[in-house]
Amino acid sequence: MCPVELPSEYDQGLATRKAVYKQYAQAIPGAFTIQKGDKAPCRLACPAGLNVQGYVQMVKEGKYKEALEIIMEDLPLPGVLGRICPHGCEEACRRCDKDEPVAIRDLKRLAADRFDPRHIEVRCSPPRAERVAIIGSGPAGLSAAYHLVKKGIRSTIFEALPQPGGMLRVGIPEHRLPRNILDREIELITNLGVEIKTNTSLCADLTVDDLFGKGYKAVYLATGSHKGIGLGIPGEKARGVQQGVEFLRELNLTGRAKVGTKVAVIGGGNVAIDVARSAVRLGAEEVTILYRRTRAEMPAWEEERVEAEAEGVKINYLSAPQEVLVEDGKVAALRCIRMELGEPDSSGRRRPIPVPGTEYEINADQVIPAIGQVPDLSALEDIEGLSFSRWGTVEADTITYATGRDGVFAGGDLHTGPWIAIGAVAAGREAAESILRYLDGRDMTEGRRAAPNEHPVYRPVPDKEPRKERGKMPTLSPRERQGNFNEVELGYDEITGREEAGRCLNCGYCCECYQCVAACGPHAITLETHRETTRKVELKVGSVILAPGFAVFDPSRYKTYDYLNRPNIITSLEFERILSASGPTMGHLVRPSDGKEPRNIAWLQCVGSRDVNRADHGYCSSVCCMYAIKEAIISKEHAKKELDCAIFFMDMRTHGKDFERYYDTAREKHGVRFIRSRVHSIDSLCDTGDLVLKYASEEGEVIEETFDMVVLSVGMETPKSTVELAQTLGLSLTEGKFCATHPFTPVSTSREGIYVCGVFQGPKDIPQCVTEASAAACAAAVDLSSARWTQTKSKEIPEEVDVSSQEPRIGVFVCNCGTNIGGIIEVPSLAQYASILPHVVYAEQNLFTCAQDTQDRMKQLIREHKLNRVVVAACTPRTHEPLFQETMQACGLNKFLFEMANIRNQDSWVHSGDPASATDKAKDLVRMAVARAALLKPLSAKRIPVNKRALVVGGGVAGMTSALSLGDQGFEVILVEKEPRLGGAALDLTHTIEGVRIPEYLLGLEARIAGHEKIQVLTESLIVGFSGFKGNFTTEVMVGPGMYERKIDHGVVIMATGASEYKPTEYRYGEDRRILTQIELGKRLEEKGAEDLNHVVMIQCVGSRNEAFPNCSRICCQSAIKNALHIKHLNPETEVSILYRDIRTYGELEYYYRQARREGVRFFRFHRDEPPQVSTRDGGLSVTFKDHVLQRNLRLKADLLVLSAGVRPSDTEESAAIFKLPRNPDGYFMEAHVKLRPVDMTNEGIYVCGTAHGPKLISEAVSQAMAASSRAAVFLSQSEISLSPVTAKVDGERCASCLICVRVCPYGVPHISKEGVSEIDEALCRGCGICAAECPAKAIELSWYEDAQVMSKVDALLEGVL
Amino acid sequence: MRLQYPSGIRIICLPCTGKVDLLHLLHCFEKGADGVYVVGCLEGACQFNTGNLRARKRVALAQEILEKIGLGGDRVQMYNLSSSEAPRFVQIAEEMTQKILKLGPNPIKLARRKMAA
């Protein structure tokens, strides 16, 4: 229903959404929201505050009636104002910034042209007894009467002239406002019960006092400004001189007016133009307008002036009349003088000054002054209490329009002097409100003084908004206008009008047309919800976690790409949406410009990353290399034809766990091209939209290549709003504007109690974000552990009724889901059908079965009809099953006695084009559901207590951190370490790249653990046995140094067995004491410094990224740079050279890479297939390699050769065997889900952290250790767990011990018991049912999916087929 | 997305395609179904590791049996897709419907009708 189409943020603007919207299908919360800005500027510019955006949107939709309903909330004269309004709204239109304003007035007219406003149902309050007198039937009087009657107050309008309408009728000629339009709209007002008495004016016989005497409770004065202002020049009294307003009045009341042959009209306003155009129509031969300023100052509308000139009216600018020359008492000519513009006057316009000696005469037999009007006060002067301004207008309060006389109000031109009709309409409406309050004796001013909004929030004008021409208004040709008063403007046709309305930018987002309110069946959207605004809520919290995320870099900042104007250059995020099955192209890979399937696509890396010159982002965004590879592979898979994918990069950063393997696969298996080059220019081929990339190859050759599409791998940045949030909270930021943290407390901000996770902590991928989120939760949980369970409530569930001996009594509830189901499927007949199915004792239909009142009713019906099974035919069990099951539980029914038939998602939605088939299918689905329901059995979840002790395996940084995190939350921890001392691999390290000392940190951790009352440390200990299931494990440990056996009962395990530095076999390591690893170098620098070192050479990727160990070891690049910088600090003279393949200083580590280069560390790249050669000939150590820039071999002398040796997991093989844990080919433990469960193992109750999971920095290991503790604590904090009863059960009688179940179970759960039959531990069974399906003896059944229950559905479906 | 697909399809939900029994498949045909297809997760993405691989084998076996007894092995099929692939779901539904239309009704049904007549 919502007419407002906006670009979908979720689809990166490639598709649209409505102003009422859900972020995306899977959004949490899965609720709709209405996006609102401030009131649109057009609405604010309208004196009557008409909801312009609202009715423009309705016109766009072709809903003219609804458009009129919106207009007529405020304005009873849509067709009139749709013609004659000076439309100040259009000047405020923000489309002016782009091209031309929306033709708002003409769209109002279109609505009134297409639907008769008399047929709009105007909602009026019940009529009241009081009557009000209104003097004057112009726009102010009519509006007051209209708004009064809407409030239930009837009125009588007294009109002095023979016909109603005031200036609308007598001031505006018919060629602009046809009489029938005015009549029609006055009629709509009188239809509501407003009485109009014409030929009745205030005078001696009818005074205000008389009106009060006759019982009118209030009087509204709206007599307008009908008296023309004289010229004040000689000859003005001559025959042939007539006031413009009088001329028009005569013409408009009688259809005739005396007109001369040569007519001079004086004035520059709309009245002057109206007079001139009327004079032309009445047959004047020559009509000249004299205006004393220039065209620029002319108050008449531009379009009116243009039309007048088209009709033959002459306009003399800078001319003023001096004297009417009279012959025989009649006008003979007009003497004029030329003017020039002087200083601006009080109105801001430049004051016209006569130029002496420029007098001239023009022939004229009629002179019509139209230089302004004033109210005719003759009948008002005697009213007691009324006061008048020095401009001859009535004084009244500007908000209430109350005059000095109690009960007398005034408005319109009488109050303001001549002004626009819409202003008078607004005044009338306000007076009506005042009169209502006056009659009720309420405060007339309360709540009516609106504070102006200094900083309105509007939808930004989209950069990509195309220019669209304003719809042309068709008019009569000047020839067709001759001699008649036919309407000149013909009005838009529907197509032009709706297109014109489509130009509206929807500045306020929601247009408040309230179509959604009318459409919402369950009344979830109301006018109240529309009024909801941002609320300030104060919360008392013990800690704060910040996860504000990031913004995607906006590539339009780069001139090279011209992203905004080239549709086939898109961002990686836009590309993701194109690849997505639920995206704008439904996963069909096509390019935006022409929908063509691309033949080749280029990815450009590091857009907005690693670029301080143009992007001001010196950091690496960490994720772009990997997502580009992923997109390339998926594109190749999606493409129907051959597709070439090329990725242009600087360093390929696939440093994550198993990422390098993925990179290799992309290159070797999928043929993705990787080109190490920064593209320096892109040209667009205009006719095809193809893109020509110019780049230099590694050999320095300039290459030109044409691509169908270019994807910009845009980086991450902290948005301004987050920077402001950080300022509000008083947090420090890093150079890259990420939240500053310390390497050993990676989720703690600079302010105690505030924690951070995700990209705001630093650029990172999803697994790391999820890990960090758990870590932040852990940090908060430590602070809040004493408050655990203090603010929670437990639900009371009544005791279950035993229904096992009862016959099935099924209740069926069929949901209409508003019109979602009911609009397609014949729900009443479906409910009727359900009621006669076997075992069904009750069936009914509901508008919304899930509504709270239906749930209450369901409870009542369950009790009333003694239902023991429930079937709901509605939507999907995925979202609604728990709700209905809860209702059943509240009635003491087992929740497994429930079944749903999905007649919405699987039926009405997907067969909406075929309602008859949909209804048949719904009957089948309900019959199937009822059949299964009859066979359902109650199941009960087994509850087992949780042992609240944790076992942490490994006493390195990760193990110590997780032990402390759990201990600090009050959980008992046993920390097992094989070495005599805690610390692990970190014992060999000196400092982090940030320069923080590690030995002191380790001492601190050790001391805290030693003094912790909840942590018990077992050093020199080995794990030899493990059994049990989550919550109840038993581990056997040989405890050193005596090696006695100890059995430990515990509820969870955290694996933190760590990793160590690879011992190289390459590059002559071990043959020469000058060849070291990075760790050895660190120690050497600590002990001996670097004074004696002249040349140090480092080689990267030693034991990583090769055949034997394909993955990247992640930390070696930063180790090398850390040590290189250390050397430079110790001895700036030392020449340090780093031979690398890709430098992988991800995230803000990039800054250290930059620093190293700045400080003179030399970087040389070598190719995997041409590794450097190490020589120790003649005692001199040297390294030879092929330089890729010079394309020749270089030899470097070295005092030390340092090998950046990779990382290898420690002891995972043995632990994996004991704990039955999966490992990846490199030997690292494998998490349950790479992205969503990065610290859980598939084996429930076991968690992993630190380098046992994969290579990582200390800060990352700390995060992960806290995350593992957090996950463990979630589990340990429950006193008991309930196991799903949907598990496999063995019928021992039928079991043939064939071992098939033992072999097929993916989790190794079944085993042969002492009795010689298969036994399945329900605590370990996951409920997949594989064993049940495989069991040849059919001895195994999966509860809730027993064979009979499944087959019953088949039988019910195929009933009667044979 | 509410994409339209042929209305002759009835879905029976199970926790995993690994639970689809050969007997279930054959039972459907015995009762007169014209076609049956099993839709599981993408291979390698089974929530229970191997359920969909087991299902594939059973479907193959069912095909063999149906072929052997003259019902036509093509009447039973196995498909894999992920939950985000609605267009693919529709494509499968259409493909299967076309396949069955081409094969015609379950011969058992025809035989029974003949017997009755």
**Residues B11-45 pLDDT 10s:** 999 999 999 999 999 999 999 999 999 999 999 88
Q: Which of A1237, A1244, A1335, A1358 to mutate to test the interface with B (most CBs of B within 10 A)?
A: A1358
CB nearest to A1345's CB, from B15, B31, B48: B15
Average pLDDT over residues A541-554: 96
- Give the gap in angstroms from C-alpha A995 to the nearest C-alpha of chain B: 43
Residue A453 pLDDT: 81
The residues, any chain, with a CB within 8 Å of residue A599's CB and separated by 6 or more, are A641, A642, A643, A644, A708
Reported as a single tens digit per residue, the pLDDT across A761-806 is: 999 999 999 999 999 999 999 999 999 999 999 888 899 999 988 9
A1306 min Cα distance to partner chain B (Å)? 6
pLDDT at site B108: 92
DSSP designation for A99: S
Confidence category of residue A587, pLDDT binned at 50, 70, 90: confident
Can you give the pLDDT at residue A580? 85
- Distance, in Å, from the CA atom of A619 to the CA atom of A734, rounded to the nearest integer, reads 11
Average pLDDT of span A135-162: 96
**Averaged over A1047-1068, what is the pLDDT?**
96
Whether B108 and chain A come into contact, CB under 8 Å, resolves to: yes
Chain B residue numbers with beta carbons less than 8 Å from the beta carbon of A1345 are 14-15, 19
Query: What is the reported pLDDT for A750?
Result: 96
Give the CA angle between residues A401, A407, A412 to the nearest 5°.
30
Phi, psi dihedrals of residue A926, rounded to the nearest 5°: -70, -40
Interface probe for A, chosen from B1, B3, B7, B47 (most Cβ of A below 10 Å), is B7
Average pLDDT estimate for A545-554: 96
CA atoms within 13 A on the CB side of B78: 22
Residues on chain A touching B107 (C-beta within 8 angstroms) = none
Least CA distance to A588: which residue of chain B? B87
Query: Which residue from A580, A877, A1328 is facing B18, i.e. has the nearest CB?
Result: A1328
Q: Taking CB atoms and an 8 Å cutoff, what residues of chain B touch A1306?
A: 48-51
DSSP letters spanning A48-79: T---HHHHHHHHHTT-HHHHHHHHTTT-S-HH
Mean pLDDT of A974-998: 96
- Do B11 and A906 lie within an 8 Å CB cutoff? yes
* pLDDT at res. B110: 87
Q: Where are the alpha helices (DSSP H) in A658-815?
A: 659-668, 720-729, 766-784
Shortest CA distance from B115: residue in chain A: A1362
Mean pLDDT of chain A: 94
DSSP assignment letter at A1041: T
Query: In whole angstroms, what is the distance from residue A121 CA to residue A124 CA?
Result: 9
State the average pLDDT over residues A468-493: 93
Residue A99 to residue A466: CA distance in whole angstroms: 9
CB contact under 8 A, B85 and A581: yes
pLDDT score of A745: 97
Question: Which residue in B has a C-alpha nearest to residue A1353's C-alpha?
Answer: B12
Mean of pLDDT values over A159-179: 95
Please indicate whether, in this complex, the C-beta atoms of A586 and B87 are within 8 angstroms of each other.
Answer: yes
- What distance lies between CA A1191 and its chain's CA centroid? 51
What residues of chain B lie within 8 A of the CB of A1355, using their CB? Answer: 31
pLDDT per residue as tens digits for the range A288-311? 999 999 998 899 988 899 999 999
Residue A1056 has pLDDT above 90, yes or no: yes
- The 3-state DSSP class for residue A948 equals coil
Is B40 touching A (CB cutoff 8 A)?
Answer: no
Q: Is the pLDDT of residue B77 over 90?
A: yes
Q: Is the pLDDT of residue A28 over 80?
A: no
Residue A339 in this model has a pLDDT that exceeds 80:
yes
pLDDT at B84: 76
- Given an 8 Å threshold on Cβ–Cβ distance, is B24 in contact with A581? no
**Rounded Cα–Cα distance for residues A360 and A559 (Å):** 61
Q: Which residue has the higher pLDDT, A345 or A70?
A: A70
Provide the 3-class DSSP secondary structure of residue A1154.
helix
Within an 8 Å CB–CB cutoff, is residue B57 touching chain A? no
> What is the DSSP secondary structure assignment for residue A1283, as one 8-state letter?
E
Closest chain B C-alpha to A802 CA, distance in angstroms: 27
The pLDDT, as a whole number, for residue A451 is 78
Does position A13 have pLDDT exceeding 90, yes or no? no
Task: Name the closest residue on chain B to residue A25, using Cα atoms.
Answer: B1
* Mean pLDDT of all residues in A189-215: 92
3-state helix, strand, coil in chain B (%, to 5): 50, 10, 40
B24/A1347 touch (CB, cutoff 8 Å), yes or no: yes
pLDDT band of B85, cuts 50, 70, 90: confident
Confidence class of residue A48 from pLDDT cuts 50, 70 and 90? Answer: very high
Chain A residues in contact with B109 (beta carbon < 8 A): 1361-1362
* Confidence (pLDDT) at A30: 76
**Distance in angstroms (rounded) separating the CA atoms of residues A542 and A754:** 9
Q: Provide the pLDDT confidence category of residue A205 given band limits of 50, 70 and 90.
A: confident
Sequence-separated (6 or more) residues with CB below 8 Å from residue A149: A124, A155, A189, A192, A193, A194
User: Which residues in A lie closer than 8 A to residue B5 (C-beta atoms)?
Assistant: 910-911
- B-chain residues within 8 Å CB-CB of A925? 10
Q: Is B86 on the interface with A (CB under 8 A)?
A: yes
Q: How many CA atoms lie within 13 A of A942 on its CB side?
A: 11
- For residue B1, the chain A residues in CB contact (below 8 A) are 582, 586
CB pairs A-B closer than 8 Å: 118
Mean pLDDT, to the nearest integer, of A12-38? Answer: 87
What's the confidence (pLDDT) of residue A1189? 79
Are B33 and A1361 inside 8 Å of each other by CB?
Answer: yes
- Residue A1153 in this model has a pLDDT that exceeds 90: yes
- Chain B residues with beta carbon closer than 8 angstroms to that of A906: 11
Mean pLDDT on A1086-1103:
96
Question: What is the three-class DSSP state of A368?
Answer: strand
The rounded distance, in Å, linking the Cα atoms of B11 and B2 is 16
Partner residue facing B50 (CB), from A910, A1306, A1361: A1306
Per-residue pLDDT tens digits for A850-902: 988 899 999 999 999 999 999 999 999 988 999 999 999 999 999 999 999 99
Between CA A582 and CA B42 the distance in angstroms is 17
Q: Is A1306 in contact with B49 (Cβ distance < 8 A)?
A: yes
> What is the band of A1003 on the pLDDT scale with cuts at 50, 70, 90?
very high
Q: Report residue A707 as tokens.
A: 């691509």
By the CB < 8 Å criterion, does B12 face chain A?
yes
Helix (H, G, I), strand (E, B) or coil at A619: coil
SS3 category, B113: helix
pLDDT at B103: 93
Q: Which of A1226, A950, A1249 is nearest to A1108 (CA)?
A: A1226
Residues A888-942: tens digit of each pLDDT:
999 999 999 999 999 999 999 999 999 999 999 999 999 999 999 999 999 998 8
Cβ–Cβ gap B23/A1347 under 8 Å = yes
Contact A1330 B50 (CB under 8 A): yes
Report whether pLDDT(B1) > 80.
no
**Separation of alpha carbons A943 and B24, rounded Å:** 33
Residue A1164 to chain B, least CA–CA distance (Å): 41
Per-residue pLDDT averaged across A580-595, rounded? 88
Say yes or no: B3 contacts chain A, CB-CB below 8 A.
yes
SS3 percent helix, strand, coil of chain A, rounded to 5, is 30, 20, 45
pLDDT exceeds cutoff 90 at A1178? no
- The nearest CA of chain B is from the CA of A925 a distance in Å of 7
Residues with Cβ within 8 Å of residue A681, at least 6 apart in sequence:
A560, A693, A694
Q: Report yes or no for ipTM above 0.90.
A: yes
Given an 8 Å threshold on Cβ–Cβ distance, is A1362 in contact with B24? no
Give the one of A917, A1330, A1338 whose C-beta lies nearest to B18's C-beta: A1330
- Find the closest chain A residue to B112 by CA distance: A1362
The minimal CB distance from A1329 to the residues B2, B16, B28 is found for B16
Provide the pLDDT for residue A1215: 92
Give me the pLDDT at residue A25, please: 73
In degrees, to the nearest 5, what angle opens at C-alpha A1345 toward C-alphas A1339 and A1350?
A: 100
In this complex, do A1361 and B84 lie within 8 Å of one another by their Cβ atoms? no
Residues forming a β-bridge with A195: A156
What DSSP element (H or E) covers A833?
Answer: helix A827-835
User: In Å, how far is A31's CA from the nearest CA of chain B?
Assistant: 17
Contact B14 A1327 (CB under 8 A): no
Query: Cis bond leading into A29, ω under 30°?
Result: yes
| A909/B49 Cβ within 8 A | no
Minimal Cβ distance to B19: which of A913, A1328, A1351: A1328
Query: What is the per-residue pLDDT for A765?
Result: 96
Token pair listed for A302: 């531009």
State the pLDDT at residue A856. Answer: 93
Question: What band does A344 get if pLDDT is binned at 50, 70 and 90?
Answer: confident
State the number of CA atoms in the 13 A half-sphere of A19 facing the CB. Answer: 25
Contact at CB, B54 and A925, closer than 8 angstroms: no
